[in-house]
Structure 1
Amino acid sequence: MNPGQLAFDLPHRAALGAEDFLVSDCNLAAVRMVDAWPDWHGAVQVLVGPAASGKTHLVRVWQERSGADALDPSTLDISTLDARAPGAAIAVEDADRAGFDERTLFHLLNLAREKRLSVLLTARVSPNRWPFALPDLLSRLSAVPVTEIGAPDEALLRTVMLKHFSDRQLTIEPKVLEFLALRIDRSLEAAAAAVDAVDRAALRSGRKISRQLVVEALGPPATME
């Protein structure tokens, strides 16, 4: 690979099996909630966490175990829900952000109880902050169990970045990984973005990942005035 060559957006496949999920104190409650199915306390569960915190990974694990269908909240309608067989499992991601019709969501919550459905909703914020106004829906949501994924610790950040590099078939030395971890915000979204930036810089330059490459990819650290 020649220095300065173009970096193409080649797809990479993230490992999303149960054995690939990185368990830490911040997500242990979420893992236990998924593991507890089908003995949930309530037909509907809400999983809350920031972007890139592992919600989608846990949904995929739950789908594998439960046979759940993933439904798009922005296109979901009552007739689609009514067609679900008793005892079916349904996963709906980004329930707080994707234009969920209030009456459709209310119908889903009622149907879950009537047909003994298993429903897993994910969101970035708790249901009491969702942009809904229907009183009956708000009342029903207030009774739904919520499991939150918290902020990651430093060890998890490093491990997650190492997994991202591995998913892209890239290697990084431990000291360089530690250097990278110290230069990003403490969030899994920032970790994923940093890995992507370093990957692109490595592709463009044709060099292995080093401290200098990290600096070039992320820019110089902010300085105190």
Structure 2
Amino acid sequence: MIRKSEQLPLVFKHEPQRGRDDLMVSERLKAAVAIIDSWPRWPSPVVILAGPVGSGKSHLASIWRENSGAVDIRPTRTGDAAELAAQGPVLFEDADRQGFDDQALFHVINSVRENGTGLLITSRLWPMSWPVELPDLRSRLKAATTVEMGEPDDELLAQVLVKLLADRQLAVDDRLVGYIVARMERSLEAAQTVVERLDHLALARGTRINRVLAAEVLNSLGKTRETD
């Protein structure tokens, strides 16, 4: 319900920037960023980025897709993923959520190895936690380079918030950024959502972004972190 003093603003969609220059690197991301930047000089033909939702896997996958010319695949029994892997680099995102056929993924990895291409897989879980029944596939996954991506730390979240706000020509005091970071869900996706809602609500009410507005947005999301 809209308050009488509020007006619905025109909604302009702000697409998240996924280029290499838009990537902010913290200690927890250094290993993953280094492996993406080192393409095509990878330590193995298959690289797996494993980390929680909002850790930056999609951003890094987007950068690698752009740099390598990779094609998105999903290894299924009736698909052509192995054939695509023979022609060039391939990307399989959210392996643990999308699911895959054991034989199909095994053939994709073999195709990558035989043809000198490359495969990047993203997942919330480490590959040893995937429901793999084919022993040969499990062996191939053990030989892959797996890089762990942790949750973004407070410093990175603050940098992301400042950048997202600047993208919308919004200036916010550093203390307010710290207030938001201390209470928001620890993910890059949450940062995007918080900024979108702050911008929309501030426009609707014709006011600047302040602590009261930030508290309202954080409470509405219902996933704030505990603070002392």
Normalised by the size of structure 2, how large is the TM-score?
A: 0.84
**CA distance in structure 2 between the partners assigned to 1:36 and 1:223 by the alignment:** 38
**CA distance in structure 2 between the partners assigned to 1:170 and 1:76 by the alignment:** 49
Pair 1:186-2:190 in alignment: no
Q: Which moved more, 1:98-107 or 1:75-84?
A: 75-84
**2:158 match: secondary structure:** helix
Q: Which moved more, 1:210-219 or 1:168-177?
A: 168-177
Higher helix share: 2
Q: 1:222 to 1:85 in 2, by over 3 A?
A: closer
Deviation at 1:211, TM superposition (A): 0.7
Q: Which amino acid aligns with 2:174?
A: P
Higher relative contact order at CA 8 Å, sep ≥6: structure 1 or structure 2? 1
Q: Which amino acid aligns with 2:82?
A: L
2:157 aligns with 157
**CA distance in structure 2 between the partners assigned to 1:139 and 1:148 by the alignment:** 19
Q: 1:104 to 1:223 in 2, by over 3 A?
A: closer
Deviation at 1:78, TM superposition (A): 4.3
Deviation at 1:75, TM superposition (A): 6.4
1:58 aligns with 60
**CA distance in structure 2 between the partners assigned to 1:122 and 1:184 by the alignment:** 25
Deviation at 1:105, TM superposition (A): 1.1
Q: Percent sequence identity over matched residues?
A: 39
**CA distance in structure 2 between the partners assigned to 1:77 and 1:16 by the alignment:** 32
**CA distance in structure 2 between the partners assigned to 1:68 and 1:222 by the alignment:** 37
Unaligned stretches of 5+ in structure 1? none
Q: 1:199 to 1:102 in 2, by over 3 A?
A: farther
- Out of 15, 18, 31, which is 2:17 matched to? 15
**1:122 match: secondary structure:** strand
**CA distance in structure 1 between the partners assigned to 2:226 and 2:16 by the alignment:** 35
Q: Which amino acid aligns with 1:120?
A: L
**CA distance in structure 2 between the partners assigned to 1:222 and 1:137 by the alignment:** 39
1:115 aligns with 115
Q: Which amino acid aligns with 1:107?
A: H
- List per-residue Cα deviations over 1:129-154 (Å, max 9, x = no partner): 11332222222212211011123222
The number of residues matched between the two structures is: 221
Contact 1:74/1:98, CA 8 A, preserved across alignment: no
CA RMSD of aligned residues (A): 2.6
**CA distance in structure 1 between the partners assigned to 2:10 and 2:166 by the alignment:** 18
Q: Which amino acid aligns with 1:26?
A: R
**CA distance in structure 1 between the partners assigned to 2:226 and 2:110 by the alignment:** 54
**1:105 match: secondary structure:** helix
Deviation at 1:24, TM superposition (A): 1.0
Q: 1:74 to 1:118 in 2, by over 3 A?
A: closer
Deviation at 1:14, TM superposition (A): 1.5
**2:121 match: secondary structure:** strand
Normalised by the size of structure 1, how large is the TM-score?
A: 0.85
